[in-house]
Structure formats: C-alpha cells, structure tokens
C-alpha cells in the first residue's frame, strides 16, 4: 500500500512536465522546448517573435542594465525602463540638498535635462549559439580538473577572438548545466545611458523594509533612462553630440491590465539559481547556512533599529545600511520556511530514489555515473562542518560590522607598502583620505560598537574553541568587562572617528604603516582573517571544488537518466525567459491572496511622517480628486500584481509581457513565502511581484507631469482590439541557430 503510494508519487514527480511556471529558458531554444506549452498557456506569439536573429524581435528590447539588473526599451527613441532600486545609485549621485531627487523625484522636461551617468551600461544580446564542442575540444576522460579548466580557458579565449562580430560588438561565452554545455553571446554595450525620470523614494520605495519581499505590495519601483548612441546608432562613450538610440524593437504598452489566469512572461537576466542540488545540500541550507546567517543579522538589525526609531538623524544614516542587511535576512527566512513547507528535502530524496532506480536498471549508465550522487551527498555532509564558521567569518568580517569591513582598507596600505614600497602605499593612503568623509558622515560609533560586542559574544558562544583566536580569548571572557574591553579597542582604532583617522594620516607613510601595525583592532582583524585563510578557507575551497566537480557529473547524469524531462540550465546572469499565469495564492491556512493591489491600498498603508509609509501630498491630492486619466480600471488605479513566473535576483527591472508581446508590468520582487524558488520552485507559493505599468504611467504623467514622455511610447489596447498588436509580422519559426542535445 505504502509502496504503491510512493510509486505513484514517483510517477507523478517524474512523468509530469515541470510545474506550470517553473523554468528559466534560453530564448534561442524556445521553438524546440517551449513554444507549444507557452501557446497552450495563452500566448498568442510564436517563438520567432520572441527571439530571432533575422528580424527585430522581443529580445531586441531587453538589456542587461548596469550588469546587475534588467531594463527594457519602450520607445523608438531609446527610452529605457528599469526599477527604482536599480537606478537608485544614479538617482542618489545626482542628488544634493538643493536638488534632492531621492526625496522629491526627478522629472526631466526635455532631453537637454537628462543626466549622464559615467560607468553605467546597457547591454543587448544580438545572437546566441551553442559552442560546447569548440569549448570542450581537447578534453578526454583522462584530463585532470585543473588541466581541464586551463583547456577551457584557452578555447574560450581563442573562440572569442575568431568568432565573427562587428568592431563595436563583444563576445561572451558562458558555462551552462554546470559546465556540460557552453553558449556564446554576441553583445552590444551602450555606454551613454542618461537618467530621465524617477519618482520620489516615498513612491518608488514605498514600504521600504517592512514591505520588502512581501505581498500585498504597493511600491512603484521604477526609474526611466534613455540610451544614446553615436550618429551610426552604435555604442559610444558619453558625448553631447550623441543622439537617442533607435532600437530594433521596443515594447508597446498595454493599458488593458490583467486578470486571473492571463498568460505572462518575464524576459531578463536572472543571476543565480541552484535547482539540481542533491538532497543533503537542501538540508545544509535549511538547517545550517540560513539559520546561522539569519541569527547573526537579527542581532545586528535589532541594534540598528533600536537607535533608528528614537532618532531621526540616526535613521537617515542607517536606512540604506539596514536595508542591505535586511534584504538577505528576510529572503533567507522565507527560503528556509518555504523549503521546509514544500518538503524540498523529501522531494529530492524521492527524486534521487527514482534516479538510482533508473541508473541501476541500465548497466551502461551505471558504469558511467554509478556512485556520483552518493559521493556528492557524502562530500556535502562532510562540508557541513565548515558552514557555520564560514558564515560567521563572512558575516562578521564583511557584512555586519562596519569598522571591520573597512579594515581591508588599512590592510591594503600595509600590503602595498610591503610589496611595492612607500609610493604605492601613499596612493592607498590618498584613497582612504577621500573615502573617509563619506563614511564618517553616516557612521555612528556606538551602534557599530554594540553590534561588534553582540556578534563576537555570539561567535565566542557558538563557534568551537579551535576557532577562537588568541586576541578573541583575551577580549572575550564574557564578563562585565567585555564591553569595556571592546570600547578600549575602538578608542585606539583609527577607523572609529574622523579625528582618530586624521591623527593617523597626518604622518608620513612609514609612520602610518607602523601605527596601523600596532593598532589593537587591526591585529584582532588580522588574526581572525589569518585564521580564516589558514584553517578554514582551504577546507571550504576543497569541498567547494569537490562539490562542483561532482555537480558537473551529476548534472550530466540527470540529463541522461531523465531523458524524457525538460531541463533548463541554472540562472547565470544570461538572458532568459520565464512564463506563467497571473495567479493569487494561499500562503497559509485560511488565507487567500488576490492577484492585484490598488491605490486604495497605498492609502491604507499611509502613515504620515513614518520613514517607510509616508506619502507626498500631491499623490494624496490626485487620489482624492480621482485624477487618473486613461490609467484607471473601473475608476481605480491598479498598483502591483503577482504571477507564477520563475524569477530571481537580476530579474529586477525585467518586463512583464502579455500574450501579444506588450508590456504590462515591471518585475521587482518575489513573495517571501516563495523565495526558495532558487532551489525548489513550487507553483503553490512561488510568485513574482510586478508593478502594474498603468501605475508607472499614472505616476509619470499625473504626478511627474511628464506627459511628453508618455507620448513617446506606444500605448495599445490588445484586449479591446481583436487583432494582436505584435509589431513584427508572424512567420513560421525558422531555426536560426544550430543547437543540439535538447
Ligand atoms: N527584494 C528586492 C531585491 O532583492 C528588492 C530590494 C530593494 N528594496 C528594498 N526595500 N531593500 O532586490
Ligand atoms: N529585487 C530583486 C532584484 O534586484 C528581484 C527579486 C528576486 O530576487 O526575485 O533583482
């Protein structure tokens, strides 16, 4: 009976296609792998409309924005839409007390007012190809892992040089399926990307940390840029002579909105996922990695918030720091809970049982892959020993304690002096001098000191004695004197205040180096770092390597053992498509979430004067007057919506696209309960969060008085018009790029 049940679960697990919504697919393989399913889910386009090398297609409207986010082109004049949090550092850099664009928003009234951003890039993907054979050429069963990597590096270098491209194009080659396949991308990177418009943070980041990762959501997370090109429409450094870029394709914008079940797809550059891990890796995440990181950050955040709540000036100094710490903190909590709730470990074990059964039934497969999965789980269990100390080291040295994070700067001076002498060290000193005022402007020593004290108390209590370095032992008997000894350490540190730093930097370089080497906190930092480098890192690296070599083989094995299944490669910051349906969800018993939020909900959350939920008066006035123009649906302004698209970090700013290829929303987050989709997508609770494009246009037009920008766009009504609004005509899909295996 039980056996039958298990067998039938196994059957369901392995014979069904992946869950609706799961997968981050390669645009150039859509016609083979996804087109039919997408159409059955409601899509009215062909794969060729989405990705084509022969004509303008949707992919020509998508850019990798600043290397970390996604953006899309929404006019024939190079307008680029992305998230507020993706354009935030540009908005901030242009802000001053007189022109506070963070607080007040930025609304250019003509192209002359658009602001240039040195260093900011937008990269288009021109074409893609499978180059696995070229890259793995020369590798045999006898090649050792290190030889293998050097052969691969050489092959990548050689092919990058010889592959046909224009002078203004680049070649990018990346590993997929854990190194079992390699794909090449021809790219064009534009370097003159100007800020056009951004809402005030109270609208663009409404809800700040409390609402981050949360549904129902009410944030208008957008900013608007424009790409400029040289007179040949090609990439060029910033120049006043550059002209607005003319895209091969731009996204028309649908004003018709969404309803439950509508087809949606998200097109963008997801960063990292790990969907094919063995079961023990899942347990390592839920039982070891995530809880340790969450506990450390809970302590740090409690201390920050304690001071932020009582003092406005402190709050301003710590808002972005707290946001950075809290983003991961909240995501990991959802991830842990979600993995447990959806029984990810048990699911992986069932999957592994099926894998083993198939492997054992086929002598050839068994000869090739036998033992690989066992070794992988075994090595993962062995690596458990180093997870806690690794996370503690990273979180304490690099994330939560400001003063320690910045000791790397002093270390750099000492290193430069020892390696290259006083002149080079002097350059590092100058760098430190110019960095310092910005740092101390927002630094509150007693907060940092309290976090330092609390976290090293945790370290002392939770980390085994072999990892207690001697200066920690001197500092840390956890008696009443502990905090006093930390206080003295800070008193002596050149990084505890601007004046203490000035005392250090007033000397000649030799004396500076000498003083750093005698600073007690520097010695403490170095001991901890040296311990990590000598005792921990080698083990961490050893197991990382064993596991990644094992994963390469296990991935190859999965592809062969489950030939009947479609596999999508893990995210690796390359262009992908994910598709799903607009869909509410039930996060827990008796709770059912709808798929759309409204401006009424923004007003419900409004708390005057609160740093997360305050609103500008002008928005309240527009709401009271119901001055909504063409952007309302039945007299209300739609704000955000959710769907079952499989997204991750890097998909921020990605377009949400309807069945016809029109823009309907802007992706910016996922729901907290479903952040485990990076390891285990589950259609029951994994949802991506998008701001409704009508809210974006309403804010741009009515709040920012930028009707002239809306005029540049192409607004459409696909649901009213019977005819599809796809700009490019449909053709039968042509196989544009040779591809193999799938
Ligand atoms: N959670 C989103 C992401 O991972 C948004 C982060 C920015 N917003 C914030 N309130 N911290 O990037
Ligand atoms: N906010 C994320 C980003 O910046 C997207 C949310 C997610 O992780 O899905 O890419």
Model pLDDT for residues 113-167, shown as the tens digit of each residue: 999 999 999 999 999 999 999 999 999 989 998 899 999 999 999 999 999 999 9
Asked if residue 740 has pLDDT above 70, the reply is: no
Q: Looking at the CA of residue 69, tell me the nearest atom of ligand 2.
A: 10
Give residue 316's pLDDT band: very low, low, confident or very high (50, 70, 90). Answer: confident
pLDDT (0 to 100) of residue 721: 66
Query: What value does the mean pLDDT take over residues 298-323?
Result: 91
Whether pLDDT at 735 is above 50: no
Of 112-116, 367-371, 505-509, 719-723, the poorest mean pLDDT is in 719-723
Protein residue with least CA distance to atom 8, ligand 2: 649
Ligand 1 pocket, residue 652 CB under 6 Å = yes
Burial degree of 406 (CB within 10 A; 0-12, 13-18, 19+): middle
pLDDT, the chain, mean: 93
Q: Whose CA is nearest to atom 2 of ligand 1?
A: 669
**Cα 101 to Cα 92: distance, rounded to the nearest angstrom:** 7
Q: Cα–Cα distance between 278 and 273 in angstroms, integer? A: 14
pLDDT at position 309 over 60:
yes
pLDDT of residue 720: 82
Above 80 in pLDDT, residue 462?
yes
**Average pLDDT rounded to a whole number, residues 466-490:** 92
Task: State the Cα–Cα distance between residues 74 and 718, nearest whole angstrom.
Answer: 17
Provide mean pLDDT across the span 607-615.
93
With a 6 A CB cut-off, is 14 part of the ligand 1 pocket? Answer: no
CB 207 less than 6 A from any atom of ligand 1: no
Mutate to test the pocket of ligand 2, among 217, 648, 672 (most ligand atoms within 8 A of CB): 648
Q: What percent of the chain has pLDDT over 70?
A: 94
pLDDT in tens, 495-532: 999 999 999 999 999 999 999 999 999 999 999 999 99
Q: What per-residue confidence (pLDDT) applies to 96?
A: 84
Cα–Cα dist 262/197, whole Å: 30
Identify the band that residue 322 occupies on the pLDDT scale cut at 50, 70 and 90: very high
- Specify the pLDDT at position 6: 53
Mutation test residue for ligand 2: of 213, 333, 652, the one with most atoms within 8 Å of CB: 652
Residue 454 has pLDDT above 50, yes or no: yes
Cα 448-450-454 angle, rounded to 5 deg = 115
By the 8 A CB rule, do 143 and 149 touch?
Answer: no
For the cut 70, the answer to whether the pLDDT of residue 37 exceeds it is yes
Q: Could you tell which of 65, 70, 85 is best to mutate to test the pocket of ligand 1, judged by most ligand atoms within 8 Å of the CB?
A: 85
Q: Is the CB of 204 under 6 A from ligand 2?
A: no
Q: Which ligand has an atom closest to residue 652 CA? A: 2
Cα dist from 405 to 79, 397, 448, whole Å: 38, 6, 11
- The model's pTM is 0.91
- pLDDT of the residue at 3: 55
Q: Please give the distance, rounded to the nearest whole angstrom, from the Cα atom of residue 86 to the centre of ligand 1.
A: 9
For the segment 198-224, the average pLDDT, to the nearest whole number, is: 97
Active site residues: 85, 221, 652
- Closest protein CA for atom 2 of ligand 2: 649
Residue-wise pLDDT for 695-712, tens only, equals: 999 999 999 999 999 999
**Binding site membership of 325 for ligand 1 (Cβ less than 6 Å):** no
How many angstroms does the Cα of residue 456 sit away from the middle of ligand 1?
Answer: 28
Nearest CA to ligand 2 atom 9: 648
- How far is it, in rounded angstroms, from Cα 623 to Cα 120? 35
Residue found by looking up tokens 């953006």 in the block: 71
- Write down the pLDDT at residue 4: 54
End-to-end alpha carbon distance in the chain: 37
Ligand 2: centre distance to CA 314 (Å): 27
Q: Of ligand 2's atoms, which has the minimum distance to the CA of residue 271? A: 10
């Amino acid at each position: 009976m039980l056996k039958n049940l298990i067998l039938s679960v196994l059957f369901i697990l392995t014979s069904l296609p992946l869950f609706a919504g799961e997968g981050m697919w390669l645009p150039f393989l859509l016609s083979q792998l996804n087109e039919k399913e997408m159409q059955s889910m409601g899509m009215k386009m062909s794969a060729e409309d989405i990705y084509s090398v022969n004509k303008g297609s949707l992919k020509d409207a998508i850019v990798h924005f600043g290397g970390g986010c996604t953006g899309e082109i929404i006019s024939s004049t190079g307008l680029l839409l992305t998230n507020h949090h993706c354009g935030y550092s540009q908005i901030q850099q242009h802000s001053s007390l007189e022109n506070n664009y963070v607080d007040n928003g930025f609304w250019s009234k003509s192209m002359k007012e658009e602001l240039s951003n040195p260093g900011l890039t937008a990269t288009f993907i021109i074409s893609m190809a499978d180059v696995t054979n070229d890259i793995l050429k020369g590798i045999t069963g006898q090649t050792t892992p290190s030889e293998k990597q050097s052969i691969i590096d050489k092959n990548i270098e050689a092919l990058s040089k010889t592959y046909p491209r224009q002078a203004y194009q680049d070649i990018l080659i990346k590993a997929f399926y854990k190194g079992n396949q390699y794909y090449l991308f021809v790219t064009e990177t534009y370097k003159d990307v100007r800020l056009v418009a951004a809402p005030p943070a109270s609208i663009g980041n409404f809800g700040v940390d409390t609402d981050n990762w949360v549904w129902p959501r009410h944030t208008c997370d957008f900013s608007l840029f424009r790409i400029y090109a040289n007179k040949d429409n090609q990439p060029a450094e910033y120049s006043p002579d550059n002209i607005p870029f003319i895209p091969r394709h731009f996204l028309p914008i649908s004003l018709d909105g969404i309803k439950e079940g509508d087809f949606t797809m998200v097109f963008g550059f997801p960063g990292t996922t790990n969907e094919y891990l063995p079961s023990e890796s899942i347990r390592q995440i839920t039982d070891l990695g995530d809880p340790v990181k969450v506990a450390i950050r809970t302590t740090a955040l409690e201390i920050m918030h304690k001071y932020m709540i009582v003092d406005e000036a402190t709050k301003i100094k710590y808002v972005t720091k707290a946001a950075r710490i809290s983003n991961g903190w909240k995501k990991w909590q959802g991830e842990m809970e979600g993995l447990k709730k959806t029984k990810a470990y048990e699911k992986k074990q069932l999957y592994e049982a099926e894998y083993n059964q198939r492997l054992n039934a086929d002598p050839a497969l068994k000869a090739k892959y036998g033992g690989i999965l066992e070794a992988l789980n075994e090595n993962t269990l062995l690596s458990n020993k180093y997870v806690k100390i690794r996370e503690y080291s990273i979180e304490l040295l690099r994330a939560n304690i400001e003063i320690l994070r910045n000791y790397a700067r002093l270390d750099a001076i000492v290193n430069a002096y020892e390696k290259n002498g006083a002149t080079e060290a002097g350059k590092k000193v100058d760098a430190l001098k110019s960095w310092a005022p910005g740092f101390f402007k927002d630094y509150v020593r007693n907060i940092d000191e309290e976090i330092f004290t609390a976290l090293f108390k945790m370290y002392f209590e939770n980390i085994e004695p072999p990892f207690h370095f001697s200066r920690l032992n001197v500092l840390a008997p956890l008696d009443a004197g502990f905090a006093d000894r930390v206080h003295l350490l800070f008193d002596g540190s050149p990084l505890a205040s601007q004046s203490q730093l000035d005392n250090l930097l007033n000397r000649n370089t030799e004396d500076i180096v000498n003083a750093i080497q005698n600073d007690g906190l520097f010695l403490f930092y170095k001991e901890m770092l040296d311990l990590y480098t000598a005792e921990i890192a080698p083990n961490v690296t050893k197991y990382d390597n064993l596991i990644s070599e094992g994963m390469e083989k296990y991935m190859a094995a999965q592809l062969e053992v489950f030939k009947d299944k479609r596999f999508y490669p893990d995210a690796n910051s390359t262009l992908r498509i994910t598709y799903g349906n607009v869909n509410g969800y039930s996060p827990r018993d008796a709770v059912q979430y709808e798929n759309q939020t409204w401006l009424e909900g923004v007003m419900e959350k409004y708390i005057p004067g609160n740093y997360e939920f305050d609103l500008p008066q002008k928005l309240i006035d527009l709401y009271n007057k119901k001055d909504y123009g063409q952007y309302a649906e039945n007299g209300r302004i739609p704000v955000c919506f959710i769907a079952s698209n499989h997204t991750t970090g890097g998909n921020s700013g990605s377009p949400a696209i309807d069945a016809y290829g029109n823009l309907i929303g802007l992706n910016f987050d996922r729901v907290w309960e479903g952040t485990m989709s990076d390891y285990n997508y589950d259609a029951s609770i994994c949802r991506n969060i998008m701001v409704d494009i009508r809210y974006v246009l309403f804010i741009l037009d009515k709040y920012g008085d930028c009707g002239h920008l809306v005029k540049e766009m192409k607004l459409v009504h696909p649901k009213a018009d019977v005819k599809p609004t796809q700009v490019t005509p449909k053709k039968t899909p042509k196989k544009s790029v040779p591809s193999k295996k799938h």
